[in-house]
Amino acid sequence: MTDGHVPSSLQFRVAAAAGGGDEFVGHTKRDHISYVNRLRMKKIEGGDAATLINVLTSRQAEEPGFFFRVQFNEEGRFSNIFWRDAMMREDYLLYRDVIIFDTTYRTNRYNLICGAFVGINNHWSNVMFGCAFLSNENQESFEWLFKVFNESMGDEILPISIFTDQDQAIANAIKEV
């Protein structure tokens, strides 16, 4: 159900069309999406999560300035991850005047949210300061992310200003951290 890279909402629509309508599928669209998300998370906790962590650990061993953190949920499953390389930190130290933090909504194979920290250098080009994959967009996840971002850059060197969308969970997490 998760290997075909077909969005779960489309899967539900096809099942509903084949069955004669939403009411004949046997579950709601929300239930279907939640079930598919759980399957994808189980797939991540298997070999893919271990592979990702192994790759990041190897890179950290080879590149002293590489930084990453992984958060696991109460059940010991992969929840959130943040990483940045040495150049991202150097760019941050030079161009941290304005940081743009934005998220995409579950556009990848595992249905994770991608959060990017971006700035603008003296040539008016975008520079990446760090990247994360989050399993949800709640305040706790964003607080974890912002704390880890600050830790990765040196806790005493905080961002000067952050632009983001109007997501209340992000705004609350920024105020808290």
pLDDT digits (tens, 9 = 90+) for 120-159: 999 999 999 999 999 888 999 999 999 999 999 998 888 8
Q: Model confidence over 85-128: pLDDT tens digits?
A: 999 999 999 999 999 998 876 555 667 889 999 999 999 999 99
Residue 51's φ and ψ, nearest 5 degrees, are -65, -45
CA angle 51, 83, 44 (to 5 degrees): 35
Percent of the chain exceeding pLDDT 90 equals 40
pLDDT value at 44 more than 60: no
Q: What's the whole-number average pLDDT of the chain? A: 82
Of the ranges 11-15, 47-51, 88-92, 104-108, the best mean pLDDT one: 88-92
pLDDT value at residue 82: 96
Length of the chain measured in residues: 177
The residue-averaged pLDDT of 63-79 equals 86
> Can you give the pLDDT at residue 159?
86
Which band of pLDDT confidence, cut at 50, 70 and 90, is reported for residue 2? very low
In angstroms, the Cα distances linking 118 to 20, 99, 114, 128 are 47, 6, 13, 5
Q: 27-41, 51-65, 79-93, 117-131 — which is least confidently predicted?
A: 27-41
Q: Is 149 exposed, middle or buried (0-12, 13-18, 19+ CB in 10 A)?
A: buried
pLDDT of residue 11 exceeding 90: no
Report the predicted TM-score, pTM, of the whole model to 2 decimal places. 0.70
